[in-house]
Amino acid sequence: MPVILRIWPCLVFLFTPLCSMVPTLDAKQVEMLEDDQVWGRVTRFFLLQDTSVQIVALGSALIGITCGLIGSYVVTRRLSLFGDTLSHAVLPGIAVGFIWAESKDNIALLIGATAAGFLGVSCLTFLQKYTHIRQDSALGIVLSGFYAVGICLLTRIQKMEFGSQSGLDSFLFGQASALSIEDLWGIGCTLLMVGLFILFAYKKLLITGFDHSFSRSIGIPADFLQYVLWLLLAFCVISSLQIIGVILASALLIIPAVTASLLVKRMHTYLLVSAALGAAAGLAGSFLSFLGQGMPTGPLIVLISTGIFISVLCLRPTNGLLTQWYFSRKNTLRIQRENTLKAVYQILESHNFQNQTIRTQELMSKRGVDIVHCEMEIQQLVRTGLVTQAPTVPSPSLPGQSTLSLTPKGWEYACKIVRNHRLWELYLTNEAKYAPDHVHEDAEKIEHVLGEDTIRQLERILSNPRKDPHGKLIPSLTDMEMGNIQNI
Amino acid sequence: MPLIPTFDFYQIFLQPWSTPQLVSWNLQIIIMGILVCWTCGLVGSFIVVRRMALMGDAISHGILPGLALAFIISGSLGIGAMFIGACLAGLACNFCIEWLHSNTKIREDAAMGLVFTSFFALGVTLISGHTGNIDLDPSCILYGEIGLVPLAEKVEMSGIFLGNRAIWVMGVVFMCIGTGTFIFYRQLLVSSFDITLAKSIGIPVKAVHICLMLALALATVASLEAVGVILVVAMFVFPSVTASFFFNRLLYVLLFSFPLGVLYTLGGFHLAHWLDCSIAGAIAVTATLLFIPACLLGPKGGVCSRFIKS
Amino acid sequence: MKSPFYPIEVHDLTVSYQRKPVLYGVDLEIEEGSLVGVIGPNGAGKSTLIKTIMNMVSPNGGFVKIFGKNPKAGTKHIGYIPQKESVDWDFPVTVMDVVLMGRYGRLGWFGRISKDDRRMAHECLEKVDMLPYANRQIGNLSGGQQQRVFLARALAQESSIYLMDEPFAGVDAVSEKAIVSILKSMQQDGKTLVIVHHDLATAKEYFDHLLLLNMRKIAYGPIQKVFTQDLLQKTYGGRLTIFSEMASQAARQPEIEMEKSIS
């Protein structure tokens, strides 16, 4: 149950990519997706027969790489929402650029957008430096203020004579199908700039990102680098607008980089993984939108990035939700096994080690569990070869009537656990000055994590003791080998 | 046609109120705008002091798939389904962000950016998958068009005309949120300022938080038709931030959002009339324009007053 | 009237943050009317102990009782003065608002602030010499003044137990003396005070009981008995390495606790 509680938000998340399939299953589109057509489309996509497909696929992949690279810095420097704000803030710049050139001229749009982005950053810095407004509110102010101006200008443009066929709407969500060769060149240039910048400033960026004031003290122009990073971020956002649009541009920056941060620790692999994930999402998104016909590319790219993120979250090697669940289950079984073995030992001990076998009934009452549970625990031990189970003579068919005996391996294991427990109790009372009635609880936990090395260390500290604080014998190494406790 | 039309006082300020038909039409727009500003201002004040301004942004984006799914499942644009869908999606968005933040090492800002863009992308995909056969217009949800509010269906009860549906819905939401805020003002104040004290005197802090998120989603959905999901953030942030330059008590900040709301709406309406552009956008621009002098000249922490002090 | 229970009773308390144990098997019984200083090195779990008593952090093992009740019901007897960093000083509230918050616990869900509450807040502000600043925003005060406002709020709560997390951090010497004298007078009124403190030099004159803490309780008792070279050495002299190592390993495996609760 706790596992479910812990992963349920993730389930909600998992629905994200699943739900995106809903529209494709819509009745109206099913007839369009006849089998041969789908395959025809798949081959057409992969053979890159159409120029438009070439451009879109290449553009999406390139923008994925660019955003992945810059995004790594954005996420590690906690600028994620800054990217979002910047992408909204360029909108008035685009509108002004459009008015200026009276058409969708790339250069004019770029200049306008860069200027607006720069103005947005300046406003943000101003608000944070000279007023009491906190960062989140300042971001909200710049974001919505600039965006509002942008919307006003856009709606104004649409009423002007040259604006009716502008297609400026596409900047809000992107329109990958309208991607032109010039756009592609723009993306390529941005990638080149980003690549060169990272290549030349890699070490410096690493230091400034880690410790801003230290890097200034050793003469690295930290502020300058920061501004260049912002500028490149603005370029990145602007060049991705045609594909993904103003509102979702930040997703391409954030999601691949966050996914990469779950996987790797070092900056250069981080950059590579993030770029690769961005490219993969870009390609897959353009492929899906080609397949689905009329599905917007931008949102699909974002959804695929999210899908990748969720799978990584669940399946990554050490901390993934599913992997963690698997290891946790394995661990639970081990601890349960150890506790059962310990109970068997304690029963044997209560008979002064006169018998070699114990009855299941005894184990049941010792462990305080019901018969079904107890049988399950015993089966665990039998399966791992620690215990052998034999039916008792008088009534072999009755449950709970079998007898158990430890195999040599089981005996050794049981001795080890008991030994861990008692040594720890002794350590707590003698060294950490715990009251003897407090140590049992703690030893119940620690016995499962004590390693061989620690045990040796404890023995040395306690000078090879024989008895625990409650006066019980601590099984020694020879006892383990002999297969029985030596009575002194 | 020039970008900025000539300023004609009569054209801009008097013409909209010159005939009874125009007055009744424009009055509906103004009332709607004021209600939106008031509702968002109330919720926004608490959002801002809790440092969650961007959570407002995130949730307002995040409700989109809820709206789309509600439409797809119920097959209509009924208010009930939309409200439920949006509130559920808003809460899911909030929970995802908090879960990612507390259970992985992903930082809060990254988690926020990740979740809300994903939700938004899902919403856009769902809507665009359905635009072919229905009238759920994505651009309407995104920018809203307060100018079309008077076209909403009329509410009639046993033959008596009661008014516009959109305004009624907004009014009810405003009343709910307003009453809630003023009844539970103390609880909201304490749990925003000092969680420990709130907990120790028995205020259910978690429930207060969820209610606030719910109010946020509710306010967003209700103002959707008017201002759209993105500009609603302006309505959340601007009133309380502007007021914070004049007052240092939360109660006054809350109350100040009422006159500000009226100013925003009237200013925005006439600005839009002048420039012939989106009214919602113009309202947000007015908010920005009013914010700038407040920030520069405000007596409590304004830039000038700081400058003089130092 | 003396309660038959200890104001604060802590039994075998274990608390972990991010699966790293911070407190381990702490036992503590604080007598009514004592002025207790909590002392230990950085990261010794001082704040965590306070937070656990305040029910802000839930323990992994053991329990806390306040006047014999569990902390959820008991925290209303406690006035808490938070660490300076955990307060949002830009929050739009005035000094008077903050002090009035101390009365909220007595108002219930729908109660309004009465004249008596206002008079009470007034008196509390007067006691800490902050009345002239009643209408200031809390961010516009000096460190010592800010601390005194929170002290006034705690006074307004009329609790019987007060917990304070580093009340003297960032406070000038004059304010510190003033705060200490208020604390002593509170003690004379029969209140129980637990104060996290980091300055060994002043500890001896400020408190009458001392709790030495370094992940576990090193010692607790009257100051003459506990303030010894030997015990202080033990508190600040590092940890038992095996002990803390094993404790953190065990805390990393939540399955152990699960199995324990089954069997």
Q: Which helix (H) or strand (E) holds C24?
A: strand C20-30
Contact C263 A332 (CB under 8 A): no
> CB distance from C91 to chain B under 8 Å?
yes
How does pLDDT run across B145-170, given as a tens digit for each residue? 777 777 777 766 666 666 777 888 88
Residues of B in contact with C81 (CB under 8 A): none
Residues of C in contact with B183 (CB under 8 A): 110
Q: Which of C12, C230, C239, C253 to mutate to test the interface with A (most CBs of A within 10 A)?
A: C253
How does pLDDT run across C13-26, given as a tens digit for each residue? 888 776 677 888 78
SS3 letters for chain A?
Answer: CHHHHHHHHHHHHHHHHHHHCCHHHCHHHHHHHCHHHHHHHHHHHHHCCCHHHHHHHHHHHHHHHHHHHHHHHHHHCCCHHHHHHHHHHCHHHHHHHHHHHCCCCHHHHHHHHHHHHHHHHHHHHHHHHHCCCCHHHHHHHHHHHHHHHHHHHHHHHHHCHHHCCCCCCHHHHCCHHHCCHHHHHHHHHHHHHHHHHHHHHHHHHHHHHHCHHHHHHCCCCHHHHHHHHHHHHHHHHHHHHHHHCCCCHHHHHHHHHHHHHHHCCCHHHHHHHHHHHHHHHHHHHHHHHHHHCCCCHHHHHHHHHHHHHHHHHHHCCCCCHHHHHHHHHHHHHHHHHHHHHHHHHHHHHHCCCCCCEEEHHHHHHHHCCCHHHHHHHHHHHHHCCCEEEEECCCCCCCCCCEEEEECHHHHHHHHHHHHHHHHHHHHHHHCCCCCHHHHHHHHHHHCCCCCHHHHHHHHHHHCCCCECCCCCECCCHHHHHHCCCCCC
Name the pLDDT band for C144 (thresholds 50, 70, 90): confident
Instruction: Output the average pLDDT for chain A.
Output: 78
How does pLDDT run across A234-278, given as a tens digit for each residue? 888 888 887 888 778 888 899 999 999 888 888 888 999 999 999
Q: Which helix (H) or strand (E) holds C12?
A: strand C8-17
How does pLDDT run across A379-434, given as a tens digit for each residue? 888 888 888 877 766 655 555 567 788 888 888 888 888 888 888 888 878 777 77
Range of A134-143, A314-323, B223-232, C218-227 with top mean pLDDT: A134-143
Residues of B in contact with A140 (CB under 8 A): 53-54, 56-57, 233-234, 236-237
Of A20, A81, A247, the CB nearest to B109: A81
Residue type, B294: A
> CB distance from A336 to chain C under 8 Å?
yes
* Four-way CATH pick for C8-262: 3.90.230.10, 3.40.50.300, 3.30.420.10, 3.40.50.1220: 3.40.50.300
Question: What is the reported pLDDT for A65?
Answer: 93
Strand runs labelled E in A251-392: 357-359, 387-391
Contact A449 C249 (CB under 8 A): yes
> CB distance from A220 to chain B under 8 Å?
no
A15-316 domain in CATH 1.10.3470.10?
A: yes
pLDDT at B38 over 90: yes
Of A148, A300, A306, the CB nearest to B288: A148
How does pLDDT run across A91-119, given as a tens digit for each residue? 898 888 888 877 767 778 888 888 998 89
CA A222 – CA C208 distance, rounded (Å): 52
pLDDT at C9 over 70: yes
Contact A134 B51 (CB under 8 A): yes
Name the pLDDT band for C238 (thresholds 50, 70, 90): low
CB within 8 Å of chain A, chain C residues 73-112: 90
Residues of A in contact with B36 (CB under 8 A): none
Question: What is the reported pLDDT for A164?
Answer: 53
Tokens describing residue B307: 């400058």
> CB distance from C25 to chain A under 8 Å?
yes
Top-confidence residue, C228 or A4: C228
> CB distance from C240 to chain A under 8 Å?
yes
Contact C253 A454 (CB under 8 A): no
How does pLDDT run across A358-388, given as a tens digit for each residue? 877 778 777 777 778 888 888 888 888 888 8
Contact C75 B200 (CB under 8 A): yes
Instruction: Taking residues B190-196, report their average pLDDT.
Output: 88
Contact A159 B276 (CB under 8 A): yes
> CB distance from C94 to chain B under 8 Å?
yes
Bridge partners of residue C29, in order along the sequence: C9
Question: What is the reported pLDDT for C261?
Answer: 45
- Tell me if B61 sits within 8 A of B117, measured CB to CB: yes
Name the pLDDT band for B35 (thresholds 50, 70, 90): very high
Instruction: Taking residues A58-87, report their average pLDDT.
Output: 88
- Tell me if A24 sits within 8 A of A243, measured CB to CB: no
| Residue C138 per-residue DSSP state | G
What's the gap in Å between the CA of A100 and the closest CA on chain B?
10
ipTM: 0.89
- Tell me if B88 sits within 8 A of B217, measured CB to CB: no
Contact A434 C263 (CB under 8 A): no
Residues of C in contact with B197 (CB under 8 A): 80, 101-102, 104, 153
Name the pLDDT band for B44 (thresholds 50, 70, 90): very high
SS3 C210: strand
Residues of B in contact with C254 (CB under 8 A): none
Name the pLDDT band for A125 (thresholds 50, 70, 90): confident
Domain ranges of chain A: 15-316, 321-406, 409-488
Name the pLDDT band for C244 (thresholds 50, 70, 90): low
Tell me which chain C residue has its CA closest to the CA of residue B103: C18
What's the gap in Å between the CA of A156 and the closest CA on chain B?
5
pLDDT at C262 over 50: no
Contact A141 B124 (CB under 8 A): no
Name the pLDDT band for A23 (thresholds 50, 70, 90): very low
- Which residues make Cβ contacts (< 8 Å) with residue B94, sequence separation at least 6? B55, B58, B59, B62, B213
CA A166 – CA A382 distance, rounded (Å): 76
pLDDT at B134 over 50: no
Contact B193 C88 (CB under 8 A): yes
pLDDT at C149 over 70: yes
- Phi–psi pair at C21, nearest 5 degrees: -70, 140
> CB distance from A113 to chain C under 8 Å?
no
Name the pLDDT band for C173 (thresholds 50, 70, 90): confident
Instruction: Kindly state the greatest CA–CA separation across chain C.
Output: 62
CB within 8 Å of chain B, chain A residues 161-190: 161, 169, 172-173
Instruction: Output the average pLDDT for chain C.
Output: 81
Of A331, A432, A446, the CB nearest to C255: A331
Question: What is the reported pLDDT for A480?
Answer: 66
Contact B249 C93 (CB under 8 A): yes
Distance of alpha carbon B38 from the chain centroid:
9
Of C92, C101, C105, the CB nearest to B244: C92
- Which CATH topology does A321-406 take? Arc Repressor Mutant, subunit A (1.10.10)
Chains near A with 3+ CB pairs less than 8 A apart are B, C
Question: What is the reported pLDDT for C128?
Answer: 85
Bridge partners of residue A358, in order along the sequence: A404
Range of A243-247, A366-370, B89-93, C56-60 with top mean pLDDT: B89-93
Are domains A321-406 and A409-488 of this chain identical in fold?
yes
- Tell me if A437 sits within 8 A of A430, measured CB to CB: no
| Window from A43-52, A333-342, C199-208 with minimum mean pLDDT | A43-52
Contact A450 C246 (CB under 8 A): yes
Q: Which of C70, C104, C137 to mutate to test the interface with B (most CBs of B within 10 A)?
A: C104
Domain ranges of chain C: 8-262
- Tell me if A247 sits within 8 A of A87, measured CB to CB: yes
Range of B182-196, C36-50, C194-208 with top mean pLDDT: B182-196
pLDDT at A468 over 90: no
SS3 C19: coil
* Four-way CATH pick for A409-488: 3.20.20.70, 1.10.10.10, 1.10.1200.120, 1.10.1380.10: 1.10.10.10
> CB distance from A281 to chain B under 8 Å?
no
Chains near B with 3+ CB pairs less than 8 A apart are A, C
Question: What is the reported pLDDT for A11?
Answer: 41
How does pLDDT run across A147-180, given as a tens digit for each residue? 899 888 888 887 776 655 555 566 777 777 777 7
Name the pLDDT band for A10 (thresholds 50, 70, 90): very low
CA C120 – CA C79 distance, rounded (Å): 16
Contact B200 C76 (CB under 8 A): yes
Tell me which chain C residue has its CA closest to the CA of residue B50: C91
Name the pLDDT band for A5 (thresholds 50, 70, 90): very low
Question: What is the reported pLDDT for A24?
Answer: 41
Question: What is the reported pLDDT for B239?
Answer: 93
CA A207 – CA A209 distance, rounded (Å): 5
Contact C247 A446 (CB under 8 A): yes
What's the gap in Å between the CA of B49 and the closest CA on chain C?
6
Domains belonging to chain B, first-starting first, are 9-150+164-299 (1.10.3470.10)
Q: Which helix (H) or strand (E) holds C38?
A: strand C35-39
pLDDT at C246 over 90: no
